[in-house]
Amino acid sequence: MTTAARDLTLEYVRWIDGHVDVWGVFRDAQALAGIVAGLAEPFRDAQVTAVCGVESRGFLLGGAVAVALGVGFVPVRKDGGLFPGEKLVRETGPDYRNLRHRLHLQRSALGPTDRVLMVDDWIETGSQAVTVKDIVEECGATWVGCSVMVDELDPATQPTLGPVHSLLDAADLPPCPPEQITGSPAAP
């Protein structure tokens, strides 16, 4: 893990209304470049041929990491978005809010010669990553692993996903200030 990318993640991640907000990193070009470099670096020698990401922050970070690695980007959409052509569709397990999502990948986007890295901002339950891995492998492609800004993954799920690189663990984040906790009497 690069110290610079880790430090940038800590600098730009903020608590807002009791939730962690990573959107600020996208506004600062130098911070974004540093974080993208930190996400790409561990996979430079992994012969990655495509980076995938789940909308929405996975689109932004994944596309940037794809450019950094000199490969293409493969979007994974959630229900409701226009996405022409034949798709592979799978439902995720419950996420951190206990919601399930249907994920879509264009069937023609990947094939047996592809080696795929998934990039996202945060991994907690791993439900989306496990589902994307299943879809990628159904295309005949090879799953290389995941690269994320923040890792909160249960260690029992990690072996299912293979290599998971993170810039920092969720436990390294500063605690949410009491006045930010949703439902707190001090919260506005």
Question: pLDDT per residue over 112-157, tens digit each?
Answer: 999 999 999 999 889 999 999 999 999 999 999 999 999 999 888 8
DSSP state of 73: E
Model confidence over 44-53: pLDDT tens digits? 999 999 999 9
Instruction: Report pTM.
Output: 0.89
Helices then strands, counting H and E runs in the chain, come out as: 5, 9
Q: Which amino acid is at 63?
A: G
Task: Give the model's confidence band at 6: pLDDT under 50 very low, under 70 low, under 90 confident, else very high.
Answer: confident
Which residues fall within 8 angstroms of residue 126, CB to CB, at 6 or more apart? 153, 154, 157, 158, 160, 161
Domain definitions of the chain by residue range? 3-177
In angstroms, what is the C-alpha Rg of the chain? 17
Burial letters 40-65, b for 16+ CB under 10 A, else e = bbbbeeeebbbbbbbbebbbbbbbbb
> Which CATH class name applies to 3-177?
alpha beta
**Please, which pLDDT band fits residue 56 given cuts at 50, 70 and 90?**
confident
